[in-house]
Structure 1
Amino acid sequence: MAGAAQRCNEVLHRLAKALIQFDAPIGAFQALQHRAAWAHVELELARSSLMAALNAIDSNDEQAAQWVSLAKWKVGRMADRISNEAVQMHGGIGVTDELDVGLYFKRIRVLQALLGDSDYHLSRVSQVANAT
């Protein structure tokens, strides 16, 4: 999911540089710059939670299950929002097989449901936190 979201973000950056409106690339507009900054921060936060989960697994941490659930929740949420942004920026063609964005969008949705959705992992994290 993290890789697919990263790819969606890269496609968005290319589009923001290439698409011209009002004699300026759309990436020059402040509203889109804020969305790009938000996406970058979310990607980094998700990557950090993923690395923490992998570190917990490697070190046989007794809280590894909690870290894994937190990472699955965070990465899933970030991927959902970034893929939605990518589809929205591309308009209706974003969900077709014509563009890779549609492929990533659909793949992220499948991965979100695989091995427990966000609600499952969030409740799992809260149950472990309440037990301690």
Structure 2
Amino acid sequence: MQNRILLVLTFLSTLLFAELPPYYYKNLQNASQENLIIEVNHVHQSISILSNNIVLDVNATVLKVQHSQSNLQKGDTIRIKYSRVLKHPTGWVGPSEPLILEERTSYKAYLKQFENSKLYLPDARGKSFEQQ
């Protein structure tokens, strides 16, 4: 009986940290507030060893607007801020995280606006950015 309970708990815990299926990310992308092509101008990285995170503060120019709820236009400059885990424990499996963006590189970006500002956040988890 204890073996069965342990087996069920192990199975359930793997579901909590498993990679998400591709359709999940596609649904997030389709529901995203902002669907843009951007070029990254500058990336500032801050590393927090205590929280095992890297915080990225990105300045980017909008090259193309495919959909924008905040009325972004081609040529607008936006700020994108997000964090991701520096290093996962050995054997860790879980949802993917957004790419670390590189300067002078273009990306398809799925974003959401933060409180009517020029600050935007990833809106499709690990598939928020796709290099062009």
Query: TM-score scaled to structure 1, two decimals?
Result: 0.26
Q: Which has the higher helix share?
A: 1
Q: Which has the higher strand share?
A: 2
